[in-house]
Chains A and B, each alone.
Chain A
Amino acid sequence: MSSPTQTQTEPTRETGETRVARLQGVWNEYLPVWFTAPMVLVMVLITFFPGAYNLYLSLIDEPTLNVFQAEFVGLSNFEAAFTLAGATHSLVITLTLVASALLLETVLGFGLAALVAGVDSDRLQSFYRILFIIPMAVAPVSLATIGRIMLNSEVGIIPYLIETTTPFAAPAFLSEMPLLTVILLDTWNWTPFMFIIFYAGLSSVPETLLEASRVDGAPLWRRYVHVIIPYMKPVVFVATLIRMIDLFRTFGVVYGLTQGGPGTATQLVSINIYEQMFINVQTTVAAAIAVVYLVMVIAICNIVIAKVGFKGVWD
């Protein structure tokens, strides 16, 4: 027992084991800390930093990293941003795009999901489901490609089909109704997102609820109004909130399709900021617009969350 070799090895092995055990204990006891620390770090970097940095840039004369060299100019960048030609115009068309695309995608997505969920054959149902989510795979840049190819007034197939099969003259989509074209393309692209979420929600409505209303002899529309839609409220809320947030980010499809034009017809706020920054090289003015836009989007989202609320989503 007390031989020298044993007394030498035993304590080291024991401390080794206890150290591992202690580390394991610390690992498990502070699990929430280790599990959230990277997330918190990244979140701070991607929320507070850009917010604060944009605010700083919007208040100075020339962009510089060194705070001590910066020349603060008060609110003059904001003044420039607001008096800029087309500032309110770009805000109005951004809101138009967000509101109309959101409405179209929600209604279409729900309608299609309801129709597919009611298909009798399982095979056919999954066929439609797969087919209908495919447009989500199309990048805005590729969507712009499709738009440019198919809507081109000289070589596009859609104007050609309109001219040959109807008595109407085809509109010049990209020059006469660019914003509507963008809205319709976005609807084609992102209705699938709403569709798949609503479809999931619809297939989760408990059978017992539906059974009960069927026994009561409620017609289909009544079942929707009184049973299915109330049950779906949380799903609809989360889906539209996330889609709305993403619509405010719209950039790629417009940039690829019209670059904000013709004129300023599709100059969304995001395109406007991009142009101020990279074409006019007015970095600080661009930052001022970004700050205003940021505050606006966050305010709108918070109002929506507060008004419609989390009620029923998770509690």
Chain B
Amino acid sequence: MATTDIEPGSSQRLDTDTRETVVTVVRHAVLLTWSVIVLFPLYWLASMSLKPPSEVNALPPDWIFLPTVYNYIQLLQNPDFIAAFTNSLVMVSASVVLVLLIGVPAAYVLSRYDVPMERDVLVWILSSRMLPPIAVVLPFFIVYRELNLFDTRIGMIFMYVSINLSLVIWVMKAFFDGIPETLEEAARVDGATRFQGFRKVVLPAAKPGIFSVAIISFIFAWIELLFGLMLTSFEAVPVTLFVYSFIGSRSIEWGMLAAASMSMIVPVAIFLVAVNRYLAAGLSFGVVLKE
């Protein structure tokens, strides 16, 4: 087979070879270009956060400089920053746990049981995300004042849950759909109850989905500005608001602003890199079932 193939096919082979080389070169040229587009702003932000105040705005820029952690020390000595960062960490983490506790079981039911008007229920759930937050926040602003939930962590946690619930249900429903029902049925034949089947068979199988939906929920809550802007004033201020207050001020301390922004980006970036293996599988909305 191979010997007969070489003679007549050789010129054609060369053709496909050169074409493949061209494709590979173009491919990597485009990918490298996009890498630069992705990295340059991040590099620039990081370098500004590490420059001493005298060099921050130098033009032409000091491409080579002695990095200093001056801005980060300033930031860490600011009690407002520490408070806002802690607030965000606590509120966002709590909201992710809560939204998973509420959303994952609901998604399981939507996947496994005959829910009446299932499609309408799914669209209704998604419609909660269609509400522009600015339209949602006004009623909550007024009611929170009455219920003493204004400027509290509990109040903010609830709002963060509200942003993410629909996404958790959509992604997890698709994920459960991809897990064969025979797995639980086998467990039930062995005497497990429905709940045990869910907890011991389905949940472990859905781990990649849960990981990725957790990280996505974390990101969406972590980056949220509007709810913090309107529903907090002092006690429960999230870190987005702290960064924003820098931008709003008249004379901008660029180095500090860059450092504060980096402090928001780095933890999430580390998270993303850590779960990146699951992310692709988890965000596939039920279309990807291998891996």
Q: Which residues of A contact B (CB under 8 A)?
A: 24, 27-28, 31-32, 34-36, 38-39, 42-43, 45-47, 49-51, 53-54, 57, 63, 65, 111-112, 115-116, 118-120, 126, 128-142, 144-146, 148-150, 155, 157, 160, 164, 188, 196-197, 199-201, 203-204, 220, 234-235, 238-239, 242, 245-246, 248-249, 251-252, 255-256, 269-270, 273-274, 277-278, 283, 286-287, 290-291, 293-294, 297-298, 301-302, 305, 310, 313-314
Q: For residue A305, which residue of chain B has the nearest CB?
A: B123
In the bound complex, do residue B35 and residue A115 qualify as a contact, i.e. CB atoms below 8 Å apart? no
Contact B223 A252 (CB under 8 A): yes
Which DSSP category, helix, strand, loop or mixed, fits chain A's interface? helix
The 6 closest A-B pairs by CB, nearest first: A139-B223, A53-B139, A39-B106, A290-B135, A204-B288, A35-B105
> Cβ of B44 and Cβ of A141 under 8 Å apart?
no
Nearest CB to that of B230 among chain A residues? A278
Contact of B272 among A32, A137, A256, A287 (CB under 8 A): A137
Q: How far is the CB of B284 from chain A (nearest CB, A)?
A: 4
Is B82's beta carbon under 8 Å from chain A?
Answer: no
Q: In the complex, how many angstroms separate the beta carbon of B113 from the nearest chain A beta carbon?
A: 5
B225 and A65 form a contact (CB under 8 A): no
Neighbour of A54 across the interface among B115, B139, B247, B288, CB < 8 A: B139
Return 23 A-B CB contacts under 8 Å, by A number: A31-B198, A34-B105, A36-B109, A42-B165, A43-B128, A51-B131, A54-B139, A115-B31, A129-B280, A133-B276, A133-B279, A142-B45, A145-B247, A149-B45, A160-B61, A196-B280, A204-B284, A220-B23, A235-B287, A249-B132, A290-B134, A290-B135, A298-B130
The yes or no answer to B174 lying at the interface (CB within 8 A) is: yes
The residue from B119, B146, B280 contacting A65, defined by CB atoms under 8 A apart: B146
Complex contact B127–A273 (CB within 8 A): no
Contact B226 A251 (CB under 8 A): yes
Q: Which of A47, A57, A129, A277 has the most CB of B within 10 A?
A: A47
- Contacting A at CB under 8 A, from B32-86, are 34-35, 37-39, 41-42, 44-45, 48, 57, 59-61
Name the residue among B41, B143, B268, B279 with the largest chain A CB count within 10 angstroms: B41
Q: Do B273 and A204 touch (CB < 8 A)?
A: no
B1-35 CB mask vs A (1 if < 8 Å, else 0) is 00000000000000000000001100100110011
Q: Which residues of A contact B286 (CB under 8 A)?
A: 313-314
Q: How long is the Cα–Cα vector from A64 to B60 in the complex, in angstroms? A: 57
Bound: A270/B135 CA distance, A: 8
User: Closest CB of chain A to B277's CB: distance in Å?
Assistant: 8
Interchain CA distance A157-B38 in the complex, whole Å: 15
